Amino acid sequence: MSSEVYDCIVIGSGIQGSCTAYQLAKNQQKTLLLEQFVLPHSRGSSHGQTRIIRKAYEENVYIQMMQESYELWAQLEEEAGVELYRRTGLLVMGPENSEGFSCLQATMQSHKIPRVVLEKQEFRQHIPNVNLTDGNGALIDTNAGVLYADRALRAVQRLFQSSEGVIKDGEKVIDITPGAVVTVTTGSGVYRGRSLVITAGPWANRLLTHTGLQLPLKVVKINVCYWKEKIPGTYSVSQRFPCFIQMEPKEGEYDIYGLPSNEYPGLMKVCYHMGSETEPDERDKQTDRGDIDILMRYITRCLPGLVPVPAVVETCMYTVTPDHHFVLDSHPTYGNIIIGAGFSGHGFKFGPIIGKVLSQLAMGQVPSHDLSPFGIRRFQSHARSSL
């Protein structure tokens, strides 16, 4: 074991761990970022070329965090000297009288989020090649767009390293011993830190076992589907086609979302916002395609310019909490162990602000956003502690 003691060790170099490590290093904290796989990798939740960024949320807390997150993404772009965000707008469609769609409209209005409400008659003119479902309303979050995910992750990791941060990849953490100084053991070394941040995505509960805590997290495999445009370019970024979210495509179904064709010429990414449960290391054995059937029916009905059979299917994972809200909290027993988990398929856009609040917790500071909706205590009846 080296005699060196880090101010903080961060486990997991997905977007949340990388942003947290960067914030810590920027605050002159001697920081070690540990990653089980050799970087870059595509076995977690943060890989792939694109993610949606938006302020269109039903909950005040997410809109408030996104106000700052947009600023931090712009700052990152400047620091890294690369483009990370492209404004496309986000079309939200949903049953006009549903609680979800009404609430979204009301929250956006109360925060004065720039938006355009599309009446049925103007929909076709503004959004050609999309059939609006009967009884659905539509609005556009005008400042929403696309984040270049892989590029962003690389940029944050580079910035961390140039702020004297240390990344050790290909080092899987196999043990954690809590204490005033936390000891972290990997397959090839033993490290010590005054604080520890666990941002291990789908593997969070595996690591938390070493601290006597289990959270109610469900890991699901997402089939990331790309669909061929019948006429290339129909739904493309260059035709100014927006990202979209279809709320409640059918009663009891989860949302469907899409991004304009860009990364693979002639192919548009359209996905179902849920998947089938899996073990993170066994995800390739999960072959359920029920979500793809739902997508095929939706595309036939609403996106007639796409061939309703996926041309490319990639894999990603969500780590889902029972209420689909994040976990951003200190460990209930060990105050110097900080947990960022359960991002439930919508955490990427928050990366920089999550990095900021987790780093504040790790430095013993009061976080600059109200984290009460993200506390572990809300799972009192679910969370298992063997302590």
Ligand X SMILES: Cc1cc2nc3c(=O)[nH]c(=O)nc-3n(C[C@H](O)[C@H](O)[C@H](O)COP(=O)(O)OP(=O)(O)OC[C@H]3O[C@@H](n4cnc5c(N)ncnc54)[C@H](O)[C@@H]3O)c2cc1C
Positions marked catalytic: 47, 50-51, 269, 273, 316, 349
Single out the residue of 156, 222, 245, 247 in contact with ligand X (rule: CB under 6 A): 222
Which 180-199 residues touch ligand LYRWXNCF, going by CB under 6 A?
none
Residue whose token pair is 């809109």: 63
Pull the structure tokens for residue 223: 């089939």
- Nearer to ligand LYRWXNCF by Cβ, of 18 and 246: the residue is 246
Decide: is 346 part of the binding site for ligand X (CB under 6 A): yes
Do residues 217 and 319 make contact, with C-beta atoms less than 8 angstroms apart? yes
- C-alpha dihedral sign at 76, 78, 82, 88: positive
Report what 113 binds from ligand LYRWXNCF, ligand X, none; CB cut-off 5-8 Å by kind: none
Decide: is 291 part of the binding site for ligand LYRWXNCF (CB under 6 A): no
Residue 243 CB, nearest distance to ligand LYRWXNCF (Å)?
A: 8
d(CA 2, CA 130): 60
- Burial of 308: CB neighbours in 10 Å, binned 0-12, 13-18, 19+: middle
- Burial of 121: CB neighbours in 10 Å, binned 0-12, 13-18, 19+: exposed
Pull the structure tokens for residue 63: 């809109």
- Nearer to ligand LYRWXNCF by Cβ, of 176 and 341: the residue is 341
Single out the residue of 257, 326, 350, 379 in contact with ligand LYRWXNCF (rule: CB under 6 A): 257
Site string for ligand X, 17-56 (x = CB under 6 A): x----------------xxxx------xxx----xx----
- Nearer to ligand X by Cβ, of 12 and 305: the residue is 12
Find the helix or strand (DSSP H, E) in which 216 lies: none
Which residue type occupies 12? G
d(CA 155, CA 22): 10
Report what 200 binds from ligand X, ligand LYRWXNCF, none; CB cut-off 5-8 Å by kind: ligand X
Q: Residue 43: left (phi > 0), alpha (psi -120 to 50), or beta?
A: alpha
Single out the residue of 8, 16, 155, 360 in contact with ligand X (rule: CB under 6 A): 16
Site string for ligand X, 126-165 (x = CB under 6 A): ----------------------------------------
Report what 6 binds from ligand X, ligand LYRWXNCF, none; CB cut-off 5-8 Å by kind: none
- Nearer to ligand X by Cβ, of 146 and 303: the residue is 146
d(CA 51, CA 10): 23
Single out the residue of 26, 47, 54, 269 in contact with ligand LYRWXNCF (rule: CB under 6 A): 54
Single out the residue of 10, 15, 19, 52 in contact with ligand LYRWXNCF (rule: CB under 6 A): 52
Do residues 9 and 193 make contact, with C-beta atoms less than 8 angstroms apart? yes
Pull the structure tokens for residue 138: 């539509």
Q: Which stretch binds ligand X (CB under 6 A): 85-93, 198-206, 260-268, 358-366?
A: 198-206
Nearest of 33, 28, 27, 32 to residue 6 by alpha carbon? 32
- C-alpha dihedral sign at 214, 216, 218, 219: negative
d(CA 43, CA 46): 9
- Nearer to ligand X by Cβ, of 89 and 202: the residue is 202
Q: Which residues bind ligand X (CB under 6 A)?
A: 11-17, 34-37, 44-46, 51-52, 172-173, 199-203, 207, 222, 224, 271, 316-318, 343, 345-349
